Copies of this chain bind each other. A is one copy, B any other.
Amino acid sequence: MAKVGIIGHGVVGSGVASILLENADVLAARAGEKIELGGVCDLREFDVSYKHLFTKDAQEIYAAPDIDIVVECMGGKGLAYKFVKAALENGKHVVTSNKELIATCGTELEAIAAKKGVQLRYEASCGGGIPVIKPLEEDLGANRLTRVAGILNGTTNYILTRMREGGVSFETALEEAQQRGYAEADPSADVLGWDARRKICILAHVAFGTPLDDSAICSEGIDKLTQEDMLYARELGRAVKLLGMAELLPEGWRASVAPAMLPDTHPLACVNDVFNAVMVHGDRVDDVMFYGRGAGTAPTASAVCGDVLDIVRHPKKVGGRVECSELPALSSFTRELHLFLRVNVALTEETRAAVVSVFPQARFVQLDGEAFADEFALVTEQGAEDELLRRAEKLTAMLPCGAPIRYLTL
């Protein structure tokens, strides 16, 4: 029998307790032994059937002799860091859904786990309930993985879906997301791409064996996107998505989080509402995509309990990552792509000539309707992003352009 202690009985922690209790038969069959809830630490009180297992003292979980696996669901870095570290040092396996903790302190905590011969697992930190970290490390383990790209934040994907399907503005879509509980009162971490950036760091580390420096990754949010951008995208047979992407090149790695226009027929373009998806490229398997709910009590708890199950089945960690020598971070702006640009003047002989003087192969888009009479848009030729951005600046000096959006061939 294995005993699990939970620290933090919030959205995720309560879901984990619920699975341990209600799906105990399923877990026992798949693990080959019983998995039991041994204790819960939270400062709040809850009227639940297992309230006799509660404590307000985390030490009674992370240092309890009969607890084998500590599940950390507090979030944040301060106390969570302290408790996870203490649990590992006490020889407990740790499972966490805490992306902030893993993105910033994962390497240090993994080293402690390795020294103590225990496991630190964090499947739920990326993509909620979607199996992705373990598939990258194990199922696709025969591949050299060179790219991870994904829709890693449900809040922004919901907002973008509403802007496209409902024709509403960014502000209205954000309000809707808040009303439905998908976005927090301060939505910055989601909307500005910081949450997706943490996740792409974790995924790249898992895929490439390279610990990425979060702060070296350029992230652009969705707050500058407009309803009109969505209409142009539709006309172009494209969908706008907030895309996190990390690539391993022979000369280094590059990563970014930014809005991108993807072809409507691309599997990532079909990921809507709060759903998330991660697409991985391996040298043998080509592209593989994992899709599902990236947040929420039950899906996230499903991932946490998958990790628990794995630890019970195989407590000893065997094998490791592909060792990448410390590769340098490359500018994400070296990527070859097209840019989409909106221009806020009518398309005339003159404005067309101005565009062509900068982007000789530009493809022009003019939407029908009076509302669009005094504007047009264009898709540039393919080129390195930094070079195209320089030229876009040059064009902006001549014509009033909106913020460029990446236009990708994946």
Interface residues of A (CB under 8 A from B): 15, 19, 23, 25-27, 29-33, 123, 129-131, 134-135, 137-144, 265, 267, 269-272, 275, 277, 282-293, 298-299, 301-303, 305-306, 308-310, 312-314, 318-323
Oligomer: number of copies: 2
Residues of B within 8 A of A318 (CB): 31-32, 313-314
Partner of A131, one of B140, B277, B284, B321: B140
Nearest residue (CB) in B for A319 is B32
Residue pairs across A and B with Cβ atoms less than 8 A apart, 11 shown, are: A26-B143, A30-B138, A30-B319, A30-B321, A32-B318, A129-B288, A138-B313, A140-B302, A267-B271, A286-B299, A289-B292
Looking at A138, A286, A323, which has the most chain B CB atoms within 10 Å of its CB?
A138
Partner of A143, one of B29, B144, B290, B302: B302
> Across the interface, do A30 and B285 meet the contact criterion of CB distance under 8 Å?
no
Residues of B within 8 A of A144 (CB): 23, 26
A26-B141, A267-B267 are known; give 17 further A-B pairs, CB within 8 A: A23-B283, A29-B321, A30-B137, A31-B319, A131-B131, A131-B139, A140-B306, A142-B305, A142-B308, A265-B270, A269-B270, A285-B293, A286-B292, A286-B293, A286-B298, A288-B292, A314-B318
Q: How far is the CB of A260 from chain B (nearest CB, A)?
A: 17
> Across the interface, do A320 and B267 meet the contact criterion of CB distance under 8 Å?
no
Q: How far is the CB of A211 from chain B (nearest CB, A)?
A: 16
Residues of B within 8 A of A267 (CB): 267, 270-271, 275, 291
Partner of A139, one of B272, B283, B285, B303: B303
Nearest residue (CB) in B for A29 is B322
> Across the interface, do A30 and B287 meet the contact criterion of CB distance under 8 Å?
no
Residues of B within 8 A of A270 (CB): 265, 267, 269-270
> Across the interface, do B291 and A19 meet the contact criterion of CB distance under 8 Å?
no
A272-B265, A291-B267, A322-B26 are contacts. A284–B129 as well, Cβ < 8 Å?
Answer: yes
Residues of B within 8 A of A25 (CB): 322
Residues of B within 8 A of A275 (CB): 267
> Across the interface, do B319 and A29 meet the contact criterion of CB distance under 8 Å?
yes
> Across the interface, do B135 and A131 meet the contact criterion of CB distance under 8 Å?
yes
Q: How far is the CB of A265 from chain B (nearest CB, A)?
A: 6
A30-B322, A141-B30, A265-B272 are contacts. A290–B293 as well, Cβ < 8 Å?
Answer: no
Q: State in angstroms the CA–CA spacing of A277 and B287 once bound together.
A: 12
A319-B30, A320-B32 are contacts. A139–B306 as well, Cβ < 8 Å?
Answer: yes
6 pairs of A and B residues whose beta carbons are closest in the complex: A131-B139, A142-B305, A270-B270, A32-B319, A288-B292, A289-B291
